[in-house]
Amino acid sequence: ADKQYKGIIDCVVRIPREQGVLSFWRGNLANVIRYFPTQALNFAFKDKYKQIFLGGVDKRTQFWRYFAGNLASGGAAGLAADVGKAGADREFSGLGDCLVKIFRSDGLRGLYQGFSVSVQGIIIYRAAYFGIYDTAKGMLPDPKNTHIVVSWMIAQTVTAVAGLTSYPFDTVRRRMMMQSGRKGSDIMYSGTLDCWRKIARDEGSKAFFKGAWSNVLRGMGGAFVLVLYDEIKKYT
């Protein structure tokens, strides 16, 4: 069970065999708890920031300013909504056990390992997620009456691009979080910059994108949220 996975298919096959089917959802409670408030805040702040950054901008004659404004509004929304997230590794029996053990070992600071790089990653992700989508939709002949299939295709592309762009930050965030509770020689990275440097030096640039494909597949839900939000707005 300690042997590394060769790829996503090998991982999907071995996890239920070695750890049980429920292991696919290990640590998911923390993700669910985080998801709803962050998504609500992201969408709420996004529209407000669009009013600030895009006031008086003509998307036809000032495309790059329009695009930059969408990126800025998406990134600002992500910054306003980001929260710390603790991962549940095999050494913890669940979310509660994870939080208690890390707090006892490292204090409050331990619960926020990787927080700074998480903030950076979420700004980049939301900038691409909202910015590219709003720009692409805005350049269509009739954005408000775009067919749902077209919106969904745009959203899928945007979600994949956003996920791949921000994934190296997610990799560093996870590495930093995974050493919460460790002491002495068990600590691999002295800080975020040290983590970036050692991954690049010891494992190569490809290591930053390990698991990126599965993340793209998981992002299909994020694409659906974008489209659903636009559809709901048509009736409000």
Q: Provide the CATH number for the domain around residue 36.
A: 1.50.40.10
Q: Is residue 3 situated within a structural domain?
A: no
pLDDT number for residue 58:
64
Which structural domain range is residue 125 located in? 25-233
As a whole-number percent, the residues of the chain with pLDDT over 70 amount to 63
Whether the predicted pLDDT of 29 surpasses 80:
no
| Tokens representing residue 65 in the block | 């300013």
Judge contact between 222 and 157, C-beta under 8 A. no
* Higher-confidence position of 102 and 234: 234
* Higher-confidence position of 9 and 1: 9
Which tens digits make up the pLDDT trace of 168-197?
998 998 888 777 666 777 788 888 899 999
pLDDT grade, residue 98 (50/70/90)? low
Q: Is residue 2 situated within a structural domain?
A: no
pLDDT number for residue 221:
79
pLDDT number for residue 177:
76
Q: Is residue 85 situated within a structural domain?
A: yes
Q: How far apart are CA 137 and CA 45, in angstroms?
A: 19
Burial of 232 (0-12, 13-18, 19+ CB in 10 A): exposed
Q: Is residue 12 situated within a structural domain?
A: no
- The values of phi and psi at residue 143, to 5°, are -55, -40
pLDDT number for residue 86:
38
Residue with tokens 């408000």: 144
Tally of structural domains, the chain? 1
pLDDT grade, residue 60 (50/70/90)? low
Q: Is residue 118 situated within a structural domain?
A: yes
pLDDT number for residue 83:
33
Q: Is residue 229 situated within a structural domain?
A: yes
Q: How far apart are CA 236 and CA 45, in angstroms?
A: 17
Q: Is residue 5 situated within a structural domain?
A: no
